[in-house]
């Protein structure tokens, strides 16, 4: 009887860990099915934006116009334990998005945000960097702030999610997602301007289903990445706490990025923070899904100080919560393991060029 109960409990654990299927057979080199960053957090500092002087038209007459101060951070996952936004660059078709975060006990991760193509989102706002017209603001020194994205992701609109989106993102545009909570309703960390919302803090899991159709222009390639939410609340390609290259300040995680000038069918992953940068390396990549849609889970976990990217066979977006054992299943699944303890630089792809940071 005791053995039977133990077996039942073990079976329940295994089922929970594998309930949302990981692609098999797994591959930890070459064309990857999973990647895990370990020893992600650390103690250090980055330059937090404290003010942005707008300047006077027609020239930026403020010097300096980007005012920063050192911010010290420490602990597991730091700085990725701070609020993040998730970014998408076309050509890319989005079908589903969900974000899960742990409850107070950590035993269950609850779906806090979700969206499906053709439907209204739940606690999720599509945004872009076209502020100054319908929403957001523009300054001569810092350009466009964030704005609410139109349903076709090509323009700004006056209110959040004013249009229902079918998820098609063309090769000339980028978007990012934030929660529905604004910085006006609850103060955000660091400086913010224009249209500004909160991101997802502490531990979180992004699940996304998408594909990345072939580019008509080889210089316009798709990517999915995460940034410290402070970056987009100031100027994603200008005055921000991320900076350029390595070290990476307040943090950037490239989840799947196709590089300009590299194999257009491959996507690399890299991580940047005040510690430095590292990534999947010269010969390791995620296959770019140009045809059939794919599903990926991205787990950022404070408890284990690690980040896992896993290719899944699918996902039940109706699942409003998942047990910790599912999260552990992804964190412990077969994957290329990259240690970020020292911030050692590991180049993504020889000859490839990343998108510009500003």
The 3-class SS string of 150-204 reads: CCCCCCEECCCCCCCCCCEECCCCEEEEECCCECCCCCCCCCCCCCCECCECCCE
Question: Mean pLDDT of all residues in the chain?
Answer: 92
Q: Between 7 and 121, where is the model more confident?
A: 121
Q: How many CA atoms lie within 13 A of 234 on its CB side?
A: 29
Domain ranges in the chain are 20-339
Residue 58's alpha-carbon distances to 35, 52, 78, 221, in angstroms, are 47, 17, 40, 33
Q: Between 264 and 3, where is the model more confident?
A: 264
pLDDT in tens, 46-95: 999 999 999 999 999 999 999 999 999 999 999 999 999 999 999 999 99
In the chain, the percentage of residues whose pLDDT exceeds 90 is 87
353 pLDDT tier (thresholds 50, 70, 90): low
Q: Alpha-carbon distance 291 to 287, whole Å?
A: 11
Q: Which residue has the tokens 């005040």?
A: 274
pLDDT of residue 17: 43
Where residue 212 falls (left for φ over 0; alpha for ψ -120 to 50; beta otherwise) is beta
Give, in degrees to the nearest 5, the angle at Cα 74 between 68 and 76: 130
The pTM score is: 0.92
Helix (H) / strand (E) containing 294 = strand 294-301
Which residues does 217 contact at the CB level (< 8 Å), separation at least 6?
Answer: 171
pLDDT of residue 1: 40
Average pLDDT rounded to a whole number, residues 229-258 = 96
pLDDT of residue 7: 39
Average pLDDT rounded to a whole number, residues 155-176 = 98
pLDDT of residue 345: 56
Residue 346 pLDDT exceeds 50:
yes
Residue 119 pLDDT exceeds 90:
yes
pLDDT in tens, 283-308: 999 999 999 999 999 999 999 999 99
259, 349, 40, 253: CA torsion to nearest 10: 0
Instruction: Give the pairing of strands 168-169 and 276-279.
Output: unpaired
Residue 89's SS3 state is: strand
Q: Alpha-carbon distance 341 to 303, whole Å?
A: 16
């Amino acid at each position: 009887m005791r053995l039977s109960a133990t077996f039942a409990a073990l079976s329940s654990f295994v089922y929970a860990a594998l309930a949302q299927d990981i692609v098999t057979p797994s591959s930890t080199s070459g064309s990857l099915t999973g990647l895990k960053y370990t020893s992600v957090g650390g103690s250090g500092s980055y330059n937090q934006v404290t003010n942005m002087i707008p300047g006077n038209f027609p020239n930026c007459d403020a010097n300096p116009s980007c005012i920063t101060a050192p911010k010290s951070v420490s602990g597991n996952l730091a700085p990725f334990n701070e609020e993040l936004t998730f970014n998408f660059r076309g050509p890319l078709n989005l079908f589903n998005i969900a974000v899960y975060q742990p409850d107070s006990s950590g035993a269950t991760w609850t779906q806090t945000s979700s969206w499906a193509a053709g439907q209204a989102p739940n606690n999720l706002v599509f945004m872009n960097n076209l502020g100054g017209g319908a929403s957001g603001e523009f300054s001569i020194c810092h350009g466009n702030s964030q704005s609410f994205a139109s349903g076709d992701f090509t323009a700004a609109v006056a209110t959040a999610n004013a249009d229902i989106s079918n998820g098609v993102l063309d090769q000339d545009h980028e978007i990012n997602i934030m929660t529905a909570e604004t910085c006006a309703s609850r103060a955000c960390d660091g400086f913010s301007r224009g249209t500004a919302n909160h991101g997802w803090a502490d531990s979180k899991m992004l699940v996304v289903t998408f594909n990345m159709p072939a580019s008509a222009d080889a210089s316009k390639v798709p990517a999915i990445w995460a940034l410290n939410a402070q970056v987009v609340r100031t100027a994603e390609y200008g005055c921000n706490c991320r900076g350029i290259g390595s070290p990476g300040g307040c943090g950037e995680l490239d989840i799947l990025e196709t590089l300009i000038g590299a194999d257009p069918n491959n996507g690399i992953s890299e991580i940047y923070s005040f510690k430095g940068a590292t990534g999947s390396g010269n010969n390791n990549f995620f296959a770019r899904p140009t045809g059939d849609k794919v599903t990926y889970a991205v787990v950022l976990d404070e408890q284990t100080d690690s980040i896992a990217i896993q290719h899944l066979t699918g996902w039940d977006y109706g699942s409003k919560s998942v047990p910790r054992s599912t999260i552990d299943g992804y964190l412990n699944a077969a994957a290329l393991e990259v240690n970020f303890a020292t911030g050692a630089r590991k180049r993504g792809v020889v000859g490839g060029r990343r998108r510009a940071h500003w």
